[in-house]
């Protein structure tokens, strides 16, 4: 019995804790009437400390983790000097698909409005100064006057720009900064390890968050959450089965049905593993079987797993819109542009760890002055949505790689179309 429990993965534990927290919360909401037991002992102390303590630990790691991830990620793109055209095409296509994903999520969220049925009381105040700022102020706010102050305040966009500049110049002055880059590499590994350790307590935190949420709100919150999950899945489906095929056909004239038939095992693996990084080896092998040169895919797929987060971007936009609708906050064009900019920038530094999309969601919310009261809800349902958005991320990486390979004559379309077999030994060597 103990060995079976040891074999349960962290992701499975988080799903189990989510379900148990939901059940316990509903039981407390429906059957426990004693306010001392329900509110004083459980809601306001045990569940409150367990849930919010976990979120505070995660927030503690956001700035140092994302900062170092961006520096390391940007500074590692040294291959662009050897493959300038291929690197430029790849990054441009990744950014274009992310921008399209964000716009789709904004449109669908405004149509479906999943957050309308949910209301919060005693919530943190909204930063109206941020919500009402002009476009000029929004653009100027992305430039840090005082980097230390921006880091201390958790201002995400200025921090991302500063980290990206460091990464760019570490690459430009490679020899002169050869002792500096390892500093960021080691700190990135350190913060990843610390965050990984904190994530081991995620099942406890998720259980407490779910129990407190459903114990307080009960059935009133279920439909909005189901609407939110449905909204995210609709956006992901449009991105995967409409946008990506259009891009593939328009840039290569290849049949997208052939791609999905051959790529389905990778999609299934991504769905079950919930990790873009874990899918990299099987993604590379399948692309080789589709006729893509390993010279391109070995560069574009790891890069895509780092900066091409279309599924995560869709989730974060839907979460922001959900929160704004739940609090009755109108987000104007200025804030929409800031959301697009923030999420596109933050996708570059999203770490490859469980619930990374929710971890960085804190900073996206803060960048547009939205309350963080709903973040606990998203932690609870994250792993349901994560299975779908990882598939979108992986498909996006593969489609973009095929398009870049085709454009730069690094692809054998006869292999793609099944007219001949790939030379397997070449890939394994």
Query: Which run of H or of E encompasses 74?
Result: helix 48-75
Q: Is the residue at 150 inside a domain? A: yes
What does the pLDDT average to over 67-87? 66
Q: Is the residue at 3 inside a domain? A: no
Q: Is the residue at 33 inside a domain? A: yes
What does the pLDDT average to over 49-67? 79
3-state secondary structure of 411: strand
Rg of the chain (C-alpha set): 22
Cα dihedral 238, 242, 246, 252, rounded to 10, equals 100
What does the pLDDT average to over 214-237? 80
pLDDT at residue 354, as a whole number: 55
Q: Is the residue at 389 inside a domain? A: yes
Taking the CA atoms of 240, 243, 248 and 249 in sequence, report the sign of the dihedral they define. positive
pLDDT at residue 203, as a whole number: 85
More confident residue, 426 or 148: 148
Q: Which of 71-80, 107-116, 223-232, 327-336 comes out lowest in average pLDDT?
A: 71-80
Alpha carbon distance 278, 271 (integer Å): 11
**Long-range contacts of range 335-338, CB-CB < 8 Å, 24 or more positions apart?**
335/131, 335/138, 335/368, 336/106, 337/135, 337/138, 338/138, 338/157, 338/367, 338/368
What does the pLDDT average to over 16-35? 84
More confident residue, 305 or 193: 193
CB 300 within 8 A of CB 397: yes
Q: Is the residue at 401 inside a domain? A: yes
Give pLDDT tens digits for 309-347: 898 889 989 999 998 888 888 877 777 887 888 787 776
Give pLDDT tens digits for 345-399: 776 656 555 566 777 787 778 777 777 767 777 876 777 788 788 899 999 999 9
pLDDT at residue 81, as a whole number: 58
Among residues 190, 151, 189, which one has the least CA distance to residue 67? 151
What does the pLDDT average to over 108-121? 79
Residues whose CB is less than 8 angstroms from the CB of residue 335 and which lie 6 or more positions away in sequence, other chains included? 131, 138, 368
Q: Tokens 């102020």 correspond to what residue? A: 137
Q: Which of 94-108, 143-157, 374-388, 405-419 comes out lowest in average pLDDT?
A: 143-157
pLDDT at residue 237, as a whole number: 96
Q: Which of 106-120, 230-244, 364-378, 409-423 comes out lowest in average pLDDT?
A: 364-378
What does the pLDDT average to over 201-223? 76
What does the pLDDT average to over 31-45? 83
Q: What is the CATH number of the domain that holds 327?
A: 1.10.3860
Residues whose CB is less than 8 angstroms from the CB of residue 328 and which lie 6 or more positions away in sequence, other chains included? none
* Residue 292 β-bridge partners: 411
Give pLDDT tens digits for 138-172: 566 667 778 777 777 666 667 777 887 888 788 77
What does the pLDDT average to over 22-32? 84
Split into its structural domains, the chain has a count of 1
Q: Is the residue at 406 inside a domain? A: yes
What does the pLDDT average to over 91-103? 91
Give pLDDT tens digits for 251-290: 999 999 999 999 988 888 777 666 676 677 788 888 988 9
Which stretch, 63-67, 200-204, 397-401, has highest mean pLDDT?
Answer: 397-401
Q: And the tokens for 421?
A: 């077999």
pLDDT at residue 252, as a whole number: 94
DSSP 419: S
More confident residue, 225 or 141: 225
Q: Where are the alpha helices (DSSP H) in 200-221?
A: 202-217
pLDDT at residue 141, as a whole number: 63
Q: Is the residue at 327 inside a domain? A: yes
Give pLDDT tens digits for 233-261: 999 999 999 999 999 999 999 999 999 99
pLDDT at residue 126, as a whole number: 45
Alpha carbon distance 131, 11 (integer Å): 36
The residue range of the domain holding 356 is: 9-428
pLDDT at residue 93, as a whole number: 92
Q: Is the residue at 191 inside a domain? A: yes
Q: Which of 6-20, 42-56, 323-337, 355-369 comes out lowest in average pLDDT?
A: 355-369
pLDDT at 2 over 80: no
Q: And the tokens for 289?
A: 């079987």
pLDDT at residue 221, as a whole number: 63
């Amino acid at each position: 019995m103990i060995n079976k429990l040891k074999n349960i993965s962290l992701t499975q534990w988080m799903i189990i804790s989510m379900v148990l927290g939901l059940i316990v919360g509903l039981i407390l909401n429906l059957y426990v009437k004693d306010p001392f037991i329900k509110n004083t002992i459980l809601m306001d102390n045990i569940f409150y400390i367990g849930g919010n303590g976990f979120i505070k630990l995660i927030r503690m790691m956001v700035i140092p983790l994302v900062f170092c991830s961006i520096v390391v990620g940007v500074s590692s793109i040294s291959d662009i000097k050897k493959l300038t055209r291929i690197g430029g095409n790849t990054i441009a296509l990744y950014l274009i698909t992310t921008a399209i994903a964000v716009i789709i999520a904004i449109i669908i969220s405004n149509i479906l409005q999943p957050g309308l049925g949910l209301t919060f009381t005693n919530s943190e105040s909204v930063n109206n100064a941020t919500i009402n700022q002009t476009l000029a102020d929004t653009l100027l706010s992305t430039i840090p006057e005082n980097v230390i102050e921006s880091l201390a305040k958790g201002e995400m966009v200025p921090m991302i720009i500063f980290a990206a500049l460091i990464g760019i110049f570490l690459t430009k002055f490679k020899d002169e900064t050869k002792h500096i880059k390892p500093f960021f590499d080691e700190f990135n590994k350190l913060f990843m390890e610390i965050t990984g350790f904190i994530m081991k307590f995620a099942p406890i935190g998720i259980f407490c968050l779910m129990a407190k949420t459903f114990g307080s709100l009960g059935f009133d919150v279920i439909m909005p959450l189901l609407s939110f999950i449905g909204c995210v899945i609709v956006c992901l489906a449009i991105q995967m089965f409409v946008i990506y095929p259009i891009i593939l056909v328009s840039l290569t004239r290849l049949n997208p049905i052939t791609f999905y038939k051959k790529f389905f095992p990778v999609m299934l693996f991504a769905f079950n593993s919930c990790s873009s990084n874990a899918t990299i080896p099987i993604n590379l092998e399948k692309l080789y079987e589709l006729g893509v040169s390993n010279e391109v895919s070995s560069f574009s797929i790891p890069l895509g797993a780092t900066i091409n987060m279309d599924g995560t971007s869709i989730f974060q936009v839907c979460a922001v819109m959900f929160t704004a609708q739940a609090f009755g906050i109108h987000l104007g064009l200025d804030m929409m542009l800031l959301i697009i900019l923030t999420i596109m920038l933050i996708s570059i530094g999203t770490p490859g760890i469980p619930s990374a999309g929710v971890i960085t969601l804190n900073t996206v919310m803060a960048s547009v002055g939205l309350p963080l009261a709903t973040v606990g809800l998203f932690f609870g349902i994250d792993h349901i949505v994560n299975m779908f958005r990882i598939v979108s991320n992986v498909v996006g990486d593969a489609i973009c790689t095929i398009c870049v390979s085709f454009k730069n004559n690094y692809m054998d379309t006869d292999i793609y179309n099944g007219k001949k077999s790939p030379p397997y030994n070449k890939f394994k060597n």
